[in-house]
């Protein structure tokens, strides 16, 4: 029997339960379009497998799910992708149990694959300085790029937060940015005086020259908001010009922001708030930095360390 996912796209598979769950994520949880697409694809993949094996979603068991996981691994899904996939399924099953579609969670015995601990890629302070010094602020595009780079580093922004920022999201009186982050949650981030100065000049003198057609803070030559791809290309261009050989992205500035804060003495909870992490476990990828700092302080100040 031909596999159904060969005949039609994953997103063409549907089920009333899945549709209701996606509606819940959109309306009640306020998930972004990208996140919603990820959930839809993961659940569509499950529906495709069930149809291929002539299984019904309402009769799903842990044994069927183990077969499905074996199927995913056979397709070459790596541990990190598999863990994300399982997270999507667990969210759906929890919702389904709450709606009384299942008496008990069919995925309660599933365990996440062990993931290799990957430390975030970040720039040194000297590398950040080299990149920030490159844009030609005597030109409109150079000034725009300068401000974007300054804000990525000064506020630890995600690229989606940067391109989604509106002019009114900045309060020049107190030097604060209102950031619309993941899960449709707002957070306030203070920015330092250098970033404020460039942002003030950009908004007053540079941005009007782009003849804005949208209220996005950062615009392209047509007066419309920048895209993710546009920002990625700019980062790549400036990184290469700064002599940075490894591949970096807008997220590298976010990692650098968190790393340098912790190196400077900030606590993990503060960094969690500034990054907009809902759970501190997401911030704990930076604990190696905190541990190194504590070791240094211990060696420096403990009376037995100098003996």
The number of residues making up the chain comes to: 307
Q: Which of 144, 207, 251, 260 is catalytic?
A: 251
Residue 251 is among the residues annotated as catalytic for this protein: yes
Residue from 99, 91, 228, 221 nearest 152 by CA = 228
| Pairwise CA distance, residues 52 & 6, whole Å | 10
Active-site residue, selected from the candidate residues 144, 158, 207, 260: 158
Which of 85, 207, 255, 277 does the annotation list as catalytic? 277
> In whole angstroms, what is the distance from residue 122 CA to residue 153 CA?
11
CB burial string 276-299: b at 16+ within 10 A, e below: bbeeeeebeebeebbeeeeeeeee
Residue 277 is among the residues annotated as catalytic for this protein: yes
Query: Which of the residues 13, 21, 102, 286 is marked catalytic?
Result: 286
* 24, 53, 71, 182: the active-site residue: 182
Q: Let me know the angle formed at the C-alpha of 35 by 184 and 25, rounded to the nearest 5 degrees.
A: 65
286 is catalytic: yes
d(Cα 160, Cα 156) in Å, to the nearest integer? 12
> 182 catalytic, yes or no?
yes
Burial string for 237-270 (b: 16+ CB within 10 Å, else e) reads: ebbeebebeeebbbbbbbbbbbbbbbeeeeebee
Catalytic residue among 144, 207, 254, 255: 254
Which of the residues are catalytic? 158, 182, 251, 254, 277, 286
């Amino acid at each position: 029997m031909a596999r159904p996912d060969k005949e039609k796209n994953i997103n063409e598979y549907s089920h009333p339960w899945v549709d209701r769950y996606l509606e819940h994520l959109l309306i009640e949880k306020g998930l972004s379009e990208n996140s919603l697409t990820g959930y839809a694809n993961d659940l569509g993949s499950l529906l495709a497998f069930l149809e291929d094996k002539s299984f019904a979603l309402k009769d799903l068991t842990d044994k069927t799910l183990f077969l499905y996981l074996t199927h995913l691994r056979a397709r070459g899904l790596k541990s990190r992708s598999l863990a994300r996939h399982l997270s999507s399924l667990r969210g759906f099953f929890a919702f389904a149990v709450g709606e009384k579609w299942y008496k008990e969670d069919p995925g309660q015995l599933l365990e996440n694959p062990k993931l290799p601990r990957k430390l975030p890629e970040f720039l040194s302070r000297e590398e950040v300085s080299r990149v920030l010094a490159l844009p030609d602020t005597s030109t409109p595009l150079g000034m725009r790029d300068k401000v974007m780079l300054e804000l990525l580093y000064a506020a630890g922004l995600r690229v989606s937060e940067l391109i989604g920022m509106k002019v009114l999201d900045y309060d020049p009186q107190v030097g604060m940015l209102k950031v619309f982050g993941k899960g449709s949650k707002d957070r306030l981030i203070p920015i330092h005086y250098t970033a404020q100065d460039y942002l003030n000049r950009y908004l007053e003198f540079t941005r009007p020259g782009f003849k804005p057609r949208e209220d996005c803070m950062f615009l392209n030559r047509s007066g419309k908001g920048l895209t993710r791809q546009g920002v990625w290309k700019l980062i790549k261009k400036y990184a290469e010009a700064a002599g940075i050989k490894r591949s970096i992205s807008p997220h590298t500035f976010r990692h650098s922001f968190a790393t340098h804060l912790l190196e400077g003495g900030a606590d993990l909870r503060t960094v969690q708030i500034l990054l907009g992490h809902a759970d501190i476990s997401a911030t704990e990828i930076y604990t190696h930095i905190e541990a190194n700092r504590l070791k240094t302080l211990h060696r420096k100040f403990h009376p037995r360390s100098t003996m």
